[in-house]
Amino acid sequence: MTPGFSFRIEKIDPGCRARRSVLHTPHGAIELPAFMPVGTQATVKGLEIDQVRATGTQIVLANTYHLALRPGPEVVRDLGGLHRFMGWDGPILTDSGGFQLVSLAQRTKVTEQAAVFQSHIDGRTIELSPERAIEIQADLGSDIAMVLDHVVPLPSPADVVRDATERTIRWAQRCRRSARGDGQALFAIVQGGLDGDLRARCAEELAKMPFDGYAVGGLSVGETPEEMVRTLDLTVPAMPTDRPRYLMGVGRPEDLLEAIRRGIDMFDCVLPTRNGRNAMAFTKEGRMNLRNHKYERDDRPIDDGCPCVACRRSRAYLRHLFMAKEMLGPVLLSIHNITYYQRLLTDARTAITEGRFEKFSNDKIGAWRDMGRHSEAIGVDS
């Protein structure tokens, strides 16, 4: 691996492929499996960095495309890099901007040379080539940089998926050649849509290069949960076993556990903070919509046993904040949801260490499904 980085598998669960491991970086060790809150523009939306740290978060994610637009990578570089700029002393991973090929598809044209964006801020043209994506991430100074990949929505025609996958392989090689190798790890991204053979070929070609870690990209872009799980079943066995494996942009709690079961180590998703801003809490009782009238006089915390600051207040108070449109509501619920995710991953790591992840996962997912059916039966929000 890149100097300053090391990866060690400590335990593989005997009942499945779940792995307990440690990734060492220049800004600290990451206990895996791990969840990365999304700080697209060098901020986890609505939260001060000490609040993020208090959730148990070990590593955060920022975005190359958005930071290239503002304030610009040179500004971040000249101010001491992303860690100093945002006040975070732990590891940072930067996404290369490949997902924006889907999220900003109406403003994007892809050629073999680069992705050309029309800025959603001021309309100016931005060319993001594999080389430029690596240069920007080097200026940002993240611990882990991602290659630029070609992401397409699902479903897409087979020839479109194949063309994007082959381009992803070629772009990964260009990214690797451009990497400075000065203390920044580089992860490749496996594409291939829902085609298992194409996924396996992409993984095998990328493994030949090689990289410091490997991600599964191009999911959570329109496929069903069942299709996602089936794709992981076909993809993960083709990925190197001696490097971290990262599932990009997938974030329902049940999806995390299904992916861990199949050997995935790292995750990111906007779901906990986006849901938090919309009054939806993740709890051991299932999802809870705090705008629901039944919480108007509910004096209990969101989740018994949760140590977060939001759980020092009542459900009734939190509901009041949302109904009154007070900004504190989204802040507190975002803190709670990230804490929930970090506690879930901590429990998953413990279960792997103790050789009982399969039961842990089955019990959790089964309980969530039962609570979901109960909520539908009685006609209330969970």
Catalytic positions, written as ranges: 95, 268
Number of H helices, E strands in the chain: 14, 16
What backbone phi and psi angles, to 5 degrees, belong to 125? -85, 130
- The closest of 261, 222, 272 to 55, measured between CA atoms, is 272
Contact criterion met (CB below 8 Å) for 320 and 297:
no
User: Rg of the chain's alpha carbons, rounded to an integer?
Assistant: 20
Provide the greatest CA pair distance for the chain.
61
Contact criterion met (CB below 8 Å) for 156 and 149:
no
Q: Please give the C-alpha separations between residue 130 and each of 98, 169, 175, 186, 326, in angstroms, as whole numbers.
A: 10, 11, 5, 12, 43
Beta bridge partners of 280: 289
Mode of pairing for the β-strands spanning 213-216 and 28-32: unpaired
Contact criterion met (CB below 8 Å) for 218 and 191:
yes
